[in-house]
Amino acid sequence: MSAPSIRLHVTAPLHPDTPVAASASQAHYLGHVMRRAPGETVRLFNGRDGEWQAEILALRRDQATLAARHQLRPQVPEPDLWLAFALLKRDATDLVVQKATELGAAALLPVLTERTQAARVNLDRLAAIAIEAAEQSERLTVPRIAPPAPLATLLREWPAERALVAAIERSAAAMIRSMTGAAGLLVGPEGGFTPRELDVMGRHPFVHPASLGPRVLRAETAAIVGLALLQAQAVG
């Protein structure tokens, strides 16, 4: 039985036979977790140059040097879908980042609302979760993760030409539908948006209220369902 293929995200440019230095954690993973050795191959991607088969040139405890040999997949456009979500407790936020990455979100924007359950987030940890999810799901990019921002700031800085679909529970809004092109999804906290927040959103013409169905979903579930429905046409 052949060894499982390994995908690693790197920041260096990927060109034929150009050495690439792996991080200390990647070197440890290759040598001590996956038991790889010089001469064996891995797959590399950086979000710009597609996916490449690479050879391990040197491998020590906390150092590894790789060399891209040939391109396996060219870089191709991905759905331009942003997810803005009310910051949740740690485990729920981690789940949203992981699943949104797997579902192809291009940007993740944590939002502070009146009912937000947390005010701080470890962006480095979330970035690591997104990278691991991108490696596992075989996407060619890693989503951008923005620092948390108040809902009012998100709305003020949102590009007017980008539709923002707001998932509103217990509303008479139409069921969310798939969209193509640049768009965004806004998911509120447990307990939903307050009447004042709904009023503020209603003043922005780019905000489109939508329903996720008759059931009241947990916030992390709503983010996953909403992303899947919004991009169903794009990936179908």
For the chain, residues classed under CATH 3.40.1280.10 are 81-235
* 233 pLDDT higher than 90: no
Look up the pTM and report it.
0.92
* Class at the top of the CATH hierarchy for domain 7-73: mainly beta
pLDDT over 90 at 136, yes or no: yes
| From-to residues of CATH 2.40.240.20 in the chain | 7-73
Average pLDDT over residues 84-106: 96
pLDDT band (50, 70, 90) for residue 216: confident
| CATH T-level assignment (fold) for domain 81-235 | Alpha/beta knot (3.40.1280)
Give the residue, 18 or 119, on which the prediction is more confident.
18
Q: Sign of dihedral through CA atoms 63, 66, 72, 75? A: positive
168-203 per-position pLDDT tens digit: 988 788 888 888 789 999 999 998 999 999 999 999
pLDDT in tens, 38-72: 999 999 999 999 999 999 999 998 899 999 999 99
Query: Residue holding tokens 């001590």?
Result: 32
For residue 119, pLDDT beyond 80: no
